[in-house]
Amino acid sequence: MNNPYEAGPFVKWAGGKSRLIDSILHKISNHINLDEMEHYIEPFVGGGAMFFYLAYHYNFTKMTIIDINLELINSYRSIKEDPIHLIRHLDILQDKYNSLHTLEEKELLYYNIRQVYNNYQDKNELKEKVDFERAAQFIFLNKSCFNGLYRVNRKGEYNVPFGKKERINIYNQRNILNVNEVLKRTTIIHGDYTQTFDHIQEQENTFVYFDPPYRPITSSSAFTAYAESGFNDDDQSNLANLCKELHLRDVHFAVSNSDPHNSDPTDMFFDNLYEEFNIYRIRANRQIAADSRSRSAISEILVVK
Ligand SMILES: C[S@@+](CC[C@H](N)C(=O)[O-])C[C@H]1O[C@@H](n2cnc3c(N)ncnc32)[C@H](O)[C@@H]1O
């Protein structure tokens, strides 16, 4: 049964799952009846393509989203707390940008906002309290930068260059209000995916979908700079151990990742890690890729239990 509010991602996010949702859910339905699930948890929520899709199509009584990226979580929280307040800040930035006449002026504004954003000192405060202006800057940068993505350097500074857009349209009011409705039923957590355990209750039918930073297929596609911290093979193994623990507790889960077979058919990394579970290979078209060669169809791994 559909819910009244259909929402979608409000930022463009690397690894966005929009195009793969149908194939992923088709495989998941071989093992899990999502209609019977009461609690949905997504511990690497990112842009939330899967989260919003499931929130619309299924009737979970509870939803929990987790991400380690504090800026992203601040944006989710701002929409949950007061979407109109956020929209006011978004309008200020958007109107300022669109009213400028030349691309040079727009570029200056972009780098100005980026600098203000990077000079922000109140990271600890952001953990406790929603900052609407900062959420608006985050969304503005995401929607006016080159290629629309979030990337930080080692110092944690946002370093994506100007997107050279004549006009920007950085939000959709109906969507922001629908996201607000969905988030009213959602617990938003800033932190590590291992917090998943804290939110599982024995008697509740729970489904967890993990879409972690992907294991790089080749060294050149080391696309792991989602946050200041990377995610290496040890982290991938820890995640697999967490899944085994979930299985022991009768919790259903699915995990997406890159398929090492794309570059090395003998690399059995995930086949070994998840050998006791169901492993599928799904054809995917990567959306964010630096060179056009790696934009061709490659497969992704989906583990389901
Ligand atoms: C592949 S992206 C998720 C894409 C998302 N599912 C979508 O469809 O847009 C991975 C996300 O995991 C987050 N992340 C990275 N390390 C994490 C950790 N240890 N715990 C929780 N989240 C983490 C990143 O900030 C990023 O948003």
Token output for 168? 């920007």
Angle at the Cα of 66 from the Cα atoms of 65 and 70, rounded to 5 degrees: 125
Residue 229 Cα: closest atom of ligand 1: 16
Residue 235, annotated as binding a ligand: no
67 C-alpha to ligand 1 centroid (Å): 6
pLDDT of amino acid 286: 57
95 C-alpha to ligand 1 centroid (Å): 31
Q: Going residue by residue through the chain, which has 305 residues, state the pLDDT in tens, using 9 for 90 and above.
A: 568 899 999 999 987 788 899 999 999 999 999 999 999 999 999 999 999 999 999 999 999 999 999 999 999 999 999 999 999 999 999 999 999 999 999 999 999 999 999 998 778 899 999 999 999 999 999 999 998 888 888 888 999 999 999 999 999 999 999 999 999 999 999 999 999 999 999 889 999 999 999 998 765 444 444 444 478 999 999 999 999 999 999 999 999 999 999 888 999 999 999 999 999 999 876 554 455 454 557 899 999 99
Which of 68, 76, 224, 231 best tests ligand 1's pocket when mutated (most atoms within 8 Å of CB)? 68
266 C-alpha to ligand 1 centroid (Å): 27
Cβ(206)–Cβ(200) under 8 Å? Answer: yes
Task: For ligand 1, atom 12, name the residue with the nearest CA.
Answer: 44
Starting at the edge strand found earlier in the chain, the sheet holding 297-304 runs 186-190, 62-67, 39-42, 206-210, 252-258, 297-304, 278-285
Domains of the chain: 18-68+191-304 (3.40.50.150), 73-173 (1.10.1020.10)
pLDDT of amino acid 3: 81
> CA dist 98 to 86, 147, 174, 176, Å?
18, 19, 21, 20
Cβ(32)–Cβ(58) under 8 Å? Answer: no
Q: How far apart are CA 161 and CA 116, in angstroms?
A: 15
173 C-alpha to ligand 1 centroid (Å): 25
Q: How far apart are CA 122 and CA 278, in angstroms?
A: 44
210 C-alpha to ligand 1 centroid (Å): 9
Residue 131, annotated as binding a ligand: no
Query: The tokens 């995916």 sit on which residue?
Result: 193
Residue 211, annotated as binding a ligand: yes
Token output for 223? 């696309």
Residue 13, annotated as binding a ligand: yes
Task: For ligand 1, atom 8, name the residue with the nearest CA.
Answer: 16
Which of 41, 66, 67 best tests ligand 1's pocket when mutated (most atoms within 8 Å of CB)? 67
Spell out the residues 6+ positions from residue 277 whose beta carbon is closer than 8 angstroms to its own: 243, 247, 303, 304, 305
Residues having CB closer than 6 A to ligand 1 are 13, 15-17, 43-50, 66-69, 192-193, 211-213, 226-227, 231
Q: How far apart are CA 113 and CA 105, in angstroms?
A: 12
Q: Where are the beta strands (DSSP E) in 43-171?
A: 62-67
Q: How far apart are CA 261 and CA 125, in angstroms?
A: 44
Residue 192 Cα: closest atom of ligand 1: 20
Going by the DSSP 8-state scheme, the letter that residue 31 receives in this structure is: T
45 C-alpha to ligand 1 centroid (Å): 6
Task: For ligand 1, atom 26, name the residue with the nearest CA.
Answer: 46
